[in-house]
Amino acid sequence: MSDEKFVDAESYSGSGGLDKISFQLITLWHVRKIMDLTTQEWHGGRWVTKHMNVSGGVGASQQVYVSDTRESYINAIQGLYDLVFPYFDEKMNIASENYLQDFEKASQTWKDLVDSGKSNDDLLYIHKSKRLNLHRSLFRALGSFLKREKYFGQRIMED
């Protein structure tokens, strides 16, 4: 006899078991994605030319954009921030206010440099380094918040 089962099309949800995903699990997956980004070499975005062999020995090239891994890291942390924002406790609200003030200050400083015509590659590097450090501090604050909220579970923390 076959192991195949009849599935009624009217009652099939198609979720493949994903209907049991919790907000906590989504949050932890996002943290994992951020941690994956931290293990990559950070580089600025750039265009590269990829050469391909097409049939008959004819070559072709294509311009491909390689994303800025530093910006990917920053965007991922901002995504986590937005995800858990509605649940912030008092400590995280204070950390959030500090982050927003520091972020606005860094953004305004860079805008002033650009407006004055004094921006250059060295200053851009310094600005991006400041943004990375700011978001690394935010990620640490978010991690502390998630620990206080027991997102990581006791078993994991005891291992």
**Each residue's pLDDT tens digit, 32-76:** 999 999 998 888 788 888 888 777 667 788 888 888 899 999 999
* Angle between helix 90-116 and 121-148 (nearest 10): 170
* Paired tokens of 36: 């994956």
Mean pLDDT comparison of 27-36, 58-67, 89-98, highest-scoring range: 89-98
pTM for the structure as a whole: 0.73
Domain boundaries, the chain: 18-42+68-158
pLDDT surpassing 90 at residue 79: yes
Percent residues over pLDDT 90 in the chain: 42
Q: What is the mean pLDDT of the chain?
A: 83
